[in-house]
Amino acid sequence: MKGIAKSLLTTLSTFSRKPVTRDYPNVHKTLPERDRAFPLLLWDQEIDEPFCTGCHACERACPVECMTVLMKDNPNHKSVGGTSSRRKIIDKFWIDYARCMRCNICVEVCNFDAIAMNNTWTGHETSVHDRKDLVMDLQMLLSQSHAGAIKEWVPVIGQTNE
């Protein structure tokens, strides 16, 4: 009997504690800066074009082959009277979010810091009715960064706090 009383007391003691749950769809937890949802492309606000040059490095490094990258000549390059120093630029880009395993490798291999993991709730709440809707095209991948709605965290491998 003593043991049972003890376990009932344990349960009782939780009444005096603060709740640990959240009213989820109404209340969102603040996500840490490093949170990894799905990869996004970043927008170069200065020159007003994507950072991505379509170099295929991420596509080749992706373990599940969920990316497709096509590049083109940059119409805004200096040689043709533009303002950009990027000779090549991304033409088409697809990421299949249904296949992506959020491993962060694409972010690590990119030499242009053009891709980052989405660390906002939009990256987590991606339910759709059809799997096909999870294939994101260039415009969808860029929109969040273009609108300035993301403060991305792009790690350098092996970096320390100093």
Partner 1 sequence: MVTERAREFDTQDLLINVGPQHPSTHGVFRMVLEIDGELVKDVIPYIGYLHRGAEKLCETMDYRQGIGFMDRTEYLAAFNAELSYVMAVEALAGLEVPERAQWIRMILCELNRISSHFMFMGAFGVDTGVMGTPFIYGWREREGIIDLFEEISGDRMMYAYFRPGGLAWDVTTNFKARVREVLKSITQGIKDFDGLFTENEIFVARTKGVGYISAEDAIDYGMSGPSLRASGVPMDVRKDEPYLKYSEIDFKVITGEHGDVFDRYHCRLQELRESVKIIEQCLAKMPDTGPIMPEKMPRMLRTPPGEVYLRTEAPRGEYGVYLVSNGGNRPYRLKVRSACLSNLQALKQMSVGQYVADAILVLGSIDIVLSEVDR
Shortest distance (Å) from residue 29 CB to ligand SF4:
22
Q: What is the CA radius of gyration of the chain?
A: 22
Dist CA 56 CA 46 (whole Å): 24
Q: Based on CB atoms, which residue is closest to ligand SF4, 114 or 142?
A: 114
Q: Which of residues 45-74 bind partner 1 (CB under 8 A)?
A: 61, 63
Which listed range, 28-36, 43-51, 83-91, 130-138, lies at the site for partner 1 (CB under 8 A)?
28-36
Dist CA 152 CA 139 (whole Å): 18
- Given a contact cutoff of 8 angstroms between Cβ atoms, the answer to whether 123 and 160 are in contact is no
Dist CA 125 CA 122 (whole Å): 5
- Residue 119 as a binder of partner 1 (CB under 8 A): the answer is yes
- Residue 79 as a binder of partner 1 (CB under 8 A): the answer is no
Site string for ligand SF4, 78-97 (x = CB under 6 A): ------------x----x--
Cα–Cα distances in angstroms (integers) from residue 26 to residues 21, 22, 29, 53, 119, in the given order = 12, 9, 10, 39, 19
Q: Which of 100, 103, 97, 116 is nearest to 155 (CA)?
A: 116
Q: Residues 37, 69, 89, 136: which binds ligand SF4 (CB under 6 A)? A: 69
- Residue 27 as a binder of partner 1 (CB under 8 A): the answer is no
Residues in contact with ligand SF4 by the rule CB under 6 A: 39, 52-58, 62-64, 66-67, 69, 90, 95, 100-106, 109-110, 112, 114-115
